[in-house]
Amino acid sequence: MRPLAWGRKARIDSVGGYASREWIAGWLDRNQVGGPKYFGTTAFANGSMVKFVRTSLPELVKEIGKEELDRLIDTLAEWAKLDAPPPKEEVDEDTLLLFEDFTCTDCHSVYGKGGGSGPDLTGYGSRQWTIDILSDPAHKRFYGNRNDGMPSYYAFPKEPEKNLLTREELELLADWLRRSVTTRGQ
């Protein structure tokens, strides 16, 4: 087992509201994205996502409109309420185009389109997405070798003794994180 060593001032209370509409709106807010609730305690504090939100996103919002950004935020927040990502054929094409319009797909994959250095956003915040990223944030679907110290809690499903958590503990953690978007476990 690997030790849990973040080395910075990461705090569990900074995950309050994870994947809620307010959380996502803050993540896309130039004044919050580099703060402790988002990237501020990680190596990504001065990375491309923070720079994008602070410089390029405001320009895109001027061009595309605040209403469209709100639609993008609403889409991500709705996905977070689900157990698993909705099938692609159930996602409106205009909604998928929002990810292109706001250049998300320059760095993130969404239903296999785009990609690059950022985590796959397909089904962001859904129960399955949250379980998957907690299982192994260093998986190529998420941060790959750029993972910044977030432990892989369940990277070895076929060798459970190597994992930091059992599958049940992992699911409880995912449900606890998602408590702001679902009533699961209450």
**6 within some domain:** no
**185 within some domain:** no
Query: Which is nearest to 25 in space by CA: 81, 74, 65, 97?
Result: 74
User: What is the domain count for the chain?
Assistant: 1
Full residue range of the structural domain in which residue 123 is found = 16-180
**8 within some domain:** no
Burial classification of residue 80, based on how many CB atoms lie within 10 Å of its CB (0-12 exposed, 13-18 middle, 19 or more buried): buried
pLDDT per residue rounded down to tens, the chain (186 residues): 444 444 455 555 566 688 999 999 999 999 999 998 898 888 888 899 999 999 999 999 999 999 999 999 999 999 999 999 999 999 999 999 999 999 999 999 999 999 888 999 999 999 999 999 999 999 999 999 998 888 999 999 999 999 999 999 999 999 999 987 876 444
Q: Tell me which amino acid residue 99 is.
A: F
**7 within some domain:** no
Write down the H helix ranges in the chain: 21-27, 48-51, 57-64, 66-80, 93-101, 127-135, 167-177
**3 within some domain:** no
